[in-house]
Amino acid sequence: MNNKFIEIYFIIDNLYPFDDIFNIKLSRKLSKKDVGMFNLDKIKQQLYKAYEDGFELKEAFVNKKIKFYQSIYYEIKMENDEINRIKIGIGDTIEIEEEMSELPTFAIVRAIIVHEYNDRRVYPFFYLTWYNQITFPTNLFDCPKFLLCEENYQSIFTIKIIDKQPKVHFVHDCTINCTAERHDDTSKIYLNNIFFYNPV
């Protein structure tokens, strides 16, 4: 019997009308237990900044309720009219281009955040934790190592920051305390598997 989970997506009502992003769908709301592991006060503070940076909205929230989801699907129209189909979920690593950095910037998705702003429209965001590169390859067979950063950095961003399906693959740099069922939570070091690829 095939027990593989089938992802079921649903459409958001009253969604903010992005200029080039459409067909936005969510899957699986997180449980209260999962949400309880997040620093909700810090998330609300960073959500203010995300609204200001992403949408130039600066009003204090009327609605303080934030919803968390497992994954998101959306389609984005590029400048050449090509349509990119994107599906991102918790645990996925994404690459973000930064104008001030010559090196690629990576983050792991902690959750998909949805919030209804004062205009009664619903806005989707990524909740991220950043990777900080700590080693560089010394030969063709090395994989660079990254350390998961603390949440001192801005960690909430509009979904506009990702306009193509991620193709990066990070794996935990396991310790003697890791098992087949669970990784050692005290170890925050990951390897960027640069040899990973998706066959066509």
Instruction: Report which of 78, 83, 47 is spatially closest to residue 65, judged by C-alpha positions.
Output: 47
Q: What is the residue-averaged pLDDT of the chain?
A: 84
Q: How sure is the predictor about 3, in pLDDT bands with cuts at 50, 70 and 90?
A: very low
Q: d(Cα 95, Cα 93) in Å, to the nearest integer?
A: 7
Instruction: State the average pLDDT over residues 162-171.
Output: 84
- Residue 96 within any structural domain of the chain: yes
- Residue 81 within any structural domain of the chain: yes
Give me the percent of the chain exceeding a pLDDT of 90.
52
Helix (H, G, I), strand (E, B) or coil at 161: helix
- Residue 197 within any structural domain of the chain: no
Whether 197 has a pLDDT exceeding 60, the answer reads no
Whether 200 has a pLDDT exceeding 70, the answer reads no
| Segment 52-99, tens digit of pLDDT | 999 999 999 999 999 999 999 999 999 999 999 999 999 899 988 766
Q: d(Cα 91, Cα 103) in Å, to the nearest integer?
A: 22
Say what the alpha-carbon torsion angle 127, 49, 154, 110 is, to the nearest 10 degrees. -10
- Residue 102 within any structural domain of the chain: yes
Q: How sure is the predictor about 183, in pLDDT bands with cuts at 50, 70 and 90?
A: confident
Instruction: State the average pLDDT over residues 31-52.
Output: 93
Question: How many folded domains does the chain comprise?
Answer: 1
Q: Which residue has better confidence, 195 or 25? A: 25
**Residue 90 CB neighbours (<10 A):** 17
| Segment 94-138, tens digit of pLDDT | 988 766 666 778 899 999 999 999 999 999 999 999 888 777 766
CATH of residue 109's domain is: 2.30.30
Please tell me the predicted confidence (pLDDT) of residue 62: 92
Length of the chain: 200
Identity (one letter) of the amino acid at 179? T
Angle subtended at Cα 108 by Cα 81 and Cα 189, rounded to the nearest 5 degrees: 140
Instruction: State the average pLDDT over residues 32-44.
Output: 92
Helix-strand-coil split of the chain, %, nearest 5: 10, 35, 50
Q: Is the dihedral of CA 160, 165, 22, 77 positive or negative?
A: positive
Please tell me the predicted confidence (pLDDT) of residue 35: 94
Range of the domain at 174: 10-192
91 Cβ contact partners less than 8 Å away, ≥ 6 residues apart: 108, 109
Lowest mean pLDDT among 31-40, 73-82, 133-142, 158-167: 133-142
DSSP notation for 34-54: HHTTS-HHHHHHHHHHHHHHH
